[in-house]
Amino acid sequence: MGSRRRWPVKECVEDLMTPRKFTRFYPDYRARVFVVHLGQRKLRYPFALLDPRPSPKDRFIRSYGDEKLGQQAIWYVLQSGRQGFLSAEQVLTFYREPSDVKGNLLWTLTTAAIEHMKHTGLSRRQILKRLHTSSAQLDRILDASNVRKSVDGVLALLEVLGYEVEVTVRRKSPETSPES
């Protein structure tokens, strides 16, 4: 018997645990928003939702990423000396774009697939044969940062691994909806 190639599960899990980081951030006074770059995405977060709220008389004097949180949050200081905090989660919650919902779903499913691959007795070749796909395509399915992949590819992988996925649809709770 030849040696079977083992899954690089540890590397995949580490990739999945990498949080969304702020790469750039600055205030836009004309639009009254805080412009943040989360990876490749440029998003605008309204001043009105910040606490404390900046104003024309109390402007930003400094903003910096929180290194303890791995650049997942921004601290800012106003002229009055008050400090505020903005997390990547707050920005994404405010937007709630369909692509974020898909990205979160793909993230959850990919994490589950990688975690369940630790416990499978199937070889890579057997999984590829059952999925009717190539090794490169399987690598794309297992890439958590790839949000262009289809949900059905990850679902098919979970099916091959012997798991089923249940979907629950429920009304959003009022405390998670963005303020108007």
**Predicted pLDDT of residue 22:** 83
Domain boundary among 77, 94, 111: 94
Q: Are 41 and 47 in contact (CB under 8 A)?
A: no
- Mean pLDDT rounded to a whole number for the chain: 81
Question: In this predicted model, which residue has the larger pLDDT, 177 or 103?
Answer: 103
**Which stretches within the chain are classed as H helix?**
9-16, 88-95, 98-117, 124-131, 135-141, 151-160
Q: Are residues 124 and 145 in the same domain?
A: yes
Tens-digit pLDDT profile for residues 96-136: 766 667 778 888 899 899 889 888 888 889 999 999 999 99
Is the predicted pLDDT of residue 163 greater than 80, yes or no? yes
**Predicted pLDDT of residue 15:** 42
Q: Are residues 66 and 114 in the same domain?
A: no
Is the predicted pLDDT of residue 18 greater than 70, yes or no? no
Q: Are 92 and 104 in contact (CB under 8 A)?
A: no
Is the predicted pLDDT of residue 47 greater than 90, yes or no? yes
Q: Is 139 within a domain?
A: yes
Query: How many separate domains does the chain show?
Result: 2
Q: Are residues 122 and 139 in the same domain?
A: yes
Q: Are 155 and 116 in contact (CB under 8 A)?
A: no
Confidence of residue 174 (pLDDT cuts 50, 70, 90): low
pTM for the predicted model, two decimal places = 0.48
Domain boundary among 45, 72, 94: 94
Percentage of the chain lying above the pLDDT 70 cut: 81
Q: Is 2 within a domain?
A: no
**Predicted pLDDT of residue 99:** 62
Q: Provide the residue range defining the domain that includes 107.
A: 98-160
Is the predicted pLDDT of residue 58 greater than 50, yes or no? yes
Q: Residues 47-74: what's their mean pLDDT?
A: 87
Of 104, 132, 116, 153, the residue nearest 9 (C-alpha): 116
**Out of 32-46, 84-98, 127-141, least confident range:** 84-98
Of 12, 57, 51, the residue nearest 179 (C-alpha): 51
Is the predicted pLDDT of residue 160 greater than 80, yes or no? yes
Q: Are residues 36 and 88 in the same domain?
A: yes
